[in-house]
């Protein structure tokens, strides 16, 4: 994720039908090729007018929101966050289903959250408790895990907290298949979590 302007639409890391039956082909196509593409395009449109910001990575832009020209702060927060959050969301799912956390990450879950079962319960409550659009997040503060939610396309890296897993609970993420049943979407999403990748992100967060 060391890219800078113009930001690319990263390809979906698996086939559009790779997450059936938990997520339909139609949902993944629209979510990636339409919703994420719009965030990428809008982010690049904003930055086109600010050559001095074009060498910054997405992380640098989002971590330094307060230092950006006032007139683009909200646009970068929404569209830069939209790109960052979706790239993480898609990378944190895998067609290799029913993985579970291992090794140091599992130790940290047991230490900071209680157990994997407790993690599932708390993460579910957090995802269902997000009023309106937003995400549930698993974050690492120098190796210490915490679950939180944030509205819209806000992202923990703007608060210098390293996210290692997120769950998009905007209606566009599930409505075509689950209608108003966010709870079923969340329940099924746990089958898809790419714990191998989350584990890598966790280890990186411990190295600082």
Size of the site for Mn ion (CB under 5 A): 3
Distance of closest approach, residue 63 Cβ to Mn ion, in angstroms: 21
Distance of closest approach, residue 36 Cβ to Mn ion, in angstroms: 7
- CA distances (Å), 22 to each of 18, 33, 73, in order? 10, 19, 36
* 173 vs 198 by CB, closer to Mn ion: 173
Distance of closest approach, residue 19 Cβ to Mn ion, in angstroms: 14
* 22 vs 168 by CB, closer to Mn ion: 168
Residue linked to tokens 């698993």? 138
* 170 vs 197 by CB, closer to Mn ion: 170
Distance (Å, whole) CA 93 – CA 174 = 14
Contacts with Mn ion in 134-193 (CB under 5 A)?
A: 168, 170, 173
Nearest CA among 208, 66, 61, 60 for reference residue 141: 208
Distance of closest approach, residue 153 Cβ to Mn ion, in angstroms: 8
SS3 135: strand
* 99 vs 133 by CB, closer to Mn ion: 133
Distance (Å, whole) CA 118 – CA 138 = 13
Two tokens, residue 104: 């140091």
- The binding site for Mn ion (CB under 5 A) comprises 168, 170, 173
């Amino acid at each position: 994720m060391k890219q800078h302007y113009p930001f690319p639409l990263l390809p979906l890391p698996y086939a559009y039908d790779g997450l059936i039956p938990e997520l339909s082909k139609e949902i993944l196509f629209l979510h990636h090729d339409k919703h994420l593409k719009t965030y990428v395009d809008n982010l690049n449109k904003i930055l086109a007018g600010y050559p001095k910001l074009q060498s910054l990575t997405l992380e640098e832009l989002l971590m330094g929101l307060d230092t950006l020209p006032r007139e683009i702060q909200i646009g970068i927060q929404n569209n830069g966050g939209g790109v960052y959050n979706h790239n993480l969301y898609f990378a944190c799912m895998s067609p290799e289903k029913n993985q579970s956390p291992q090794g140091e990450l599992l130790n940290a879950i047991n230490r900071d959250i209680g157990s994997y079962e407790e993690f599932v319960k708390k993460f579910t409550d957090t995802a269902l408790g997000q009023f309106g659009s937003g995400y549930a997040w698993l974050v690492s503060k120098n190796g210490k895990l915490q679950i939180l939610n944030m509205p819209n396309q806000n992202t923990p890296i703007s608060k210098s907290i390293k996210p290692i897993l997120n769950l998009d609970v905007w209606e566009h993420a599930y409505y075509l298949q689950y209608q108003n049943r966010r709870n079923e979407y969340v329940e099924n999403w746990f089958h898809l979590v790419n714990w191998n990748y989350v584990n890598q992100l966790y280890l990186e967060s411990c190295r600082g």
